[in-house]
Each structure stands twice: as C-alpha cells, then as structure tokens.
Amino acid sequence: MSTFKKQSSSLEHFVTDILEMSPGLLLKANTKGETLLHIAGRHGHVDIVKDLIAECKKPHQNDPEKVIEAARLMLGMTNEAKDKALHEAVRYNRVEVVKMVTKEDPSLPYDANNAGETPLYLAAERGYKDVMQDIFLTCKSPAGHGPMGRTALHAVAFRNDTEMTKVLLDSSIGTQTSKVDQQGWRPLHLAAHLGYYDVVKELLKADKSAAYKADNEGKIPLHLAAGKGRLHTMQELIMSCPSSCELVDDRGWNVFHFALHSESRRAKLGNLVNEKNDDGNTPLLEHAVSGSFIQSFVCHPKVDRLAFNHHNCSVEDIYELEQYVNKNKEAHLVVAALIATVTFTTGITVPGGYINEIGSDQGAAVLTKSSDFQAFVIFDSLAMILSTSAIFIHIYLSLIPDKI
C-alpha cells in the first residue's frame, strides 16, 4: 500500500496486475481501516479508482444484481474515522473521483463520520462548489448534516458564501432553513450574528418565518444582529420582517436593549426606546446600569428619562448610586491602606520590646509567653492580611472594564 500511495500514471496497470494475483487485497484494510479505494480517492487517482471498481465487479459479471451489491459493498466501506471513499475524495477536492464514485451508485447512503460530517457538509464547509453540485445532480438523497447539529446551509452561511447559499436553497437542501444547531440557531441566526448581509437577504427570500424563530435563549436573528451592532443586517431584517422588532428574549430584552448593549450609536427603533424588560428596565435604565454614556441616546426627545424600574429606581437614582459607590470605594481604599500600614508597623515594633540578654531567648519578644500578646499577634496579622487583600482586590477590580 505504501507503494500504491506514490502518484504515477503507470501504477494503473501495476495495481491491476497485483489484484489479479491477489484478489483479496481489493478489500483489505490497513491499520487505519483504509482500503485501496480510500487511498486512491484521497490522492485523486481517477484511473485507479475506475480499475478498483471494475475489479470488484469481475467475479459477478453474469449477475447484474451481485455486480451492484459488490460495488456498493466496496464504496460503503469505512475506515477507523467512519469515512467512506467519498469522504476522502471530497475532503481533498478530488472532483473527478467524486463524480465517478457518486455516479457508480447514486442511491448509496452517505452517513456522517465520527466527526459528524457527511460528504455534502464537508464540501459546503470547505467551499468546494463543483463537488457540491455533483453531489446534488447525482445522489438521490444527499445528506447535509454536520457536527453540533449544523447543516450544509449553516456551513455556507458561516463562510459568507452567497453563491453557494443560493445553490443550496434551490436544491432539496433548501428545507434546511428550519434546521437548528445545538444553540437553537438556524442558518439565519448565524448569518445575522456575523453580519453577512447578502447571505441574510438570500435566506430571508427563501424563508421569512426564520426571522421570528427564537434560539435556546429566546433570541431571534434581529437580537443577534443588534447585539453585535450589525446595522445593515438589522435594517434588512426589519424591512423584511417589521413585526420582529416587537419580540423579546427570555430576559424580556427587545432589539433596543441589544443595540445599546453593543453600544451601537445608530440603531433607530423609536417605538421601543421606552419598553421595559423583565427587571422593569427600559433601554435607558439598562444603559445607565451598564455605566456607559451615549449622549445622542440619553438626550433623544423620545426617551423617557423619568421612567422607574421594579426597584423604584430612575436613571438619576442609578447615577447617584454609582457616584455614591465610587466615593465609598475611595474611602474604603484609604482606610484599608491605613490599616495595612499601622498593622505592618506594629508587627515590626513589638510591644514590650525584645529580650537583649544573651541566651536561648535572645531576640525573642519579651511578652512571647503572654496569652494576650499571642492574641494580639494573631489579630494584627489577620488585620494586615485582610487589609492588604482589600487593597489588591480594589486595584484588580479597577482594571476590569464595566462591560465585557
């Protein structure tokens, strides 16, 4: 087999001769479970693939049904990774091999390998358009599912490939617009999240209902686009599906809450500027809680600056509380620093002094054996450790941004 891997057109006759002498090698697998067909498909040896298929049919030339069964048996063999020969040919973009294998048995089912990948998904994920088209044109029931519940349509959406998206939507795979992955995301969710405007347009043309479907957290594609500040994508979603603006996620957030969370300064959804979420926070109150300040939004004439949340707090209350907390943090830092300084100084200058007399106790504290002194040392050390920790925690937290 190692000799077989080397690319050379002269190998065609050599392989045929070897198989005539030892027919058992045809379906013999190596330590990785790979047959000759796997290796030939991976390296794109079209003529050898053709000969291998012909060799497996030879013993059954007078029985058409057994010829089909023999070819199907060889084409359906999998290696340790559960890859069939077609998986290998697709993975390395061996177009001619793919055409030959799919044409040989169009009805052969191509299940997913150990990684959850079908040949069609592999082609979509890697952007192999010619391979995809051949699978569509030849295979009767091409499976397009992939890992983590994703489909070929998810894969092309992730690649921002508008052309391949159209190809998939025009095929039987077009029904995958409603398929969700482990997050509950449809292809439209993924394209909206990434801001792939052209792909979003194509997906909306195929299935507008996907714009109203929520993921596992109750988020629709518009929420994901707003959360990332994808303005053009937001506009397309709103123009195509205006009612989606009114939907909220599991927290009660509407699209304006997401837009503000992303600090998008150009989102314009006037009717939602004062709508409250489950905590009673309007977008302005949520904005105040985040600690950021977008003047064009705060000063917008439609914004209700007197709104209260479920805790009876207004925007002014939140800002005042933030200022109060900031002042207290400074005061606490000063107190902690003073305590750390005093306790450290006290630890150096021990009350009662040290024993100066020559002996085994020289240099020890005079009050070492006193229970009161021992308690003093313990509490002094504890005070120094806690105050020092408070200082370091304060410094660490001051380095963390308010919004991640």
Chain-centroid distance of CA 321 in Å reads 37
Residues 6+ apart with CB under 8 A from 127: 156, 159, 161, 164
Q: Are residues 154 and 98 in the same domain?
A: no
Is residue 256 domain-shared with residue 282, that is, in the same domain? yes
Same domain for 304 and 157, yes or no, is yes
Where a domain ends, among 109, 140, 164?
109
Q: Are residues 394 and 253 in the same domain?
A: no
Stated as kind and residue range, the H or E segment containing 133 is: helix 129-138
Residues 229 and 177 in one domain: yes
Lowest mean pLDDT among 111-120, 174-183, 186-195: 174-183
Tell me which residue has tokens 């040919």.
Answer: 89
Alpha-carbon span 238 to 373, nearest angstrom: 74
Question: Are 161 and 286 found together in one domain?
Answer: yes
Q: What pLDDT shows up at residue 340? A: 80
The answer to the question of residue 138 being in a domain is no
**Section 76-94 average pLDDT:** 94
Identify the pLDDT of residue 63: 81
What phi and psi values does residue 150 have, to the nearest 5 degrees? Answer: -80, 165
Each residue of 219-244: pLDDT tens digit?
999 999 998 888 889 989 988 888 88
Higher pLDDT, 249 or 143: 249
Instruction: Transcribe 249-277 into DSSP letters.
Output: -TT---HHHHHHHTT-S----GGGTT---
- Domain of 66, CATH number, reads 1.25.40.20
What per-residue confidence (pLDDT) applies to 211?
Answer: 95
Q: Give the pTM.
A: 0.64
The pLDDT tens digits of the residues spanning 275-303 come to 556 666 666 556 565 555 555 455 555 55
Structural domain includes residue 50 = yes
In this predicted structure, the answer to whether residue 174 has a pLDDT above a threshold of 60 is: yes
The answer to whether position 2 is within a domain reads no
Which residue range is the domain that position 203 belongs to? Answer: 150-310
Query: Is 145 in a helix, a strand, or coil?
Result: strand
According to the model, what pLDDT value does residue 203 have?
A: 96
* Residue indicated by tokens 């043309």: 205
Tally of CA atoms within 13 A in the half-sphere of 33 that contains its CB:
11
Q: What are phi and psi of 302, to 5 degrees?
A: -85, -10
Split into its structural domains, the chain has a count of: 3
pLDDT recorded at residue 280: 65
pLDDT at 286: 63
For the segment 1-52, what is each residue's pLDDT rounded down to a tens digit? 555 444 445 555 677 777 777 777 888 889 999 999 999 999 999 999 998 9
3-state helix, strand, coil in the chain (%, to 5): 60, 0, 40
Look at residue 248 and tell me whether its pLDDT is greater than 70. yes
Tens digits of residue pLDDT in 315-370? 566 666 667 667 777 777 787 788 888 887 777 777 767 667 676 666 677 677 77
pLDDT at residue 306, as a whole number = 53
Which tokens hold the place of 109? 């089912």
The confidence score (pLDDT) of residue 8 equals 46
Instruction: Please give the average per-residue pLDDT across 123-145, as a whole number.
Output: 88
> Are 161 and 305 within one domain?
yes
Residue 387 lies in a domain: yes
pLDDT of residue 381: 86
CA-to-CA distance for 284 and 276, rounded, in angstroms? 10
Say yes or no: 218 and 234 in one domain.
yes
Backbone angles phi, psi at 360, to 5 degrees: -70, -25
Mean pLDDT in the chain?
80
Q: Look at residues 114, 110, 166, 184 and name the one whose alpha carbon lies nearest to residue 140.
A: 110
Query: Of 265, 285, 310, which residue is a domain's last?
Result: 310
Q: Which residue has the higher pLDDT, 9 or 200?
A: 200
- Per the listing, tokens 């919004």 go with 403
Looking at residue 62, what is its pLDDT?
73
Q: What is the mean pLDDT of residues 205-215?
A: 94
pLDDT at 269 over 90: no
Same domain, 293 and 360: no
Q: Is residue 130 part of a domain?
A: no
Q: How confident is the model at residue 376 (pLDDT cuts 50, 70, 90)?
A: confident
- Examine the fold and report which residue of 84, 109, 134 is the final residue of a domain before the chain moves on: 109
Angle of CA points 236, 241, 246, to nearest 5°:
110
Buried b (16+ CB within 10 A) or exposed e, 191-227: bbbbbbbbbbbbbbebbeebbebbbeeebbbbbbbbb
In a domain, 35, yes or no: yes
Average pLDDT rounded to a whole number, residues 173-194: 90
pLDDT (0 to 100) of residue 287: 58
Per-residue pLDDT at 403? 42
167 assigned to some structural domain: yes
Same domain, 248 and 354: no
- Give the residue carrying structure tokens 């009114």: 246
% the chain with pLDDT above 90: 34
For residues 34 and 82, state if they share a domain: yes
Please tell me the predicted confidence (pLDDT) of residue 309: 58
The answer to whether position 5 is within a domain reads: no
Q: What is the mean pLDDT of residues 44-66?
A: 85
Higher pLDDT, 349 or 178: 178
- 188 with 262, same domain: the answer is yes
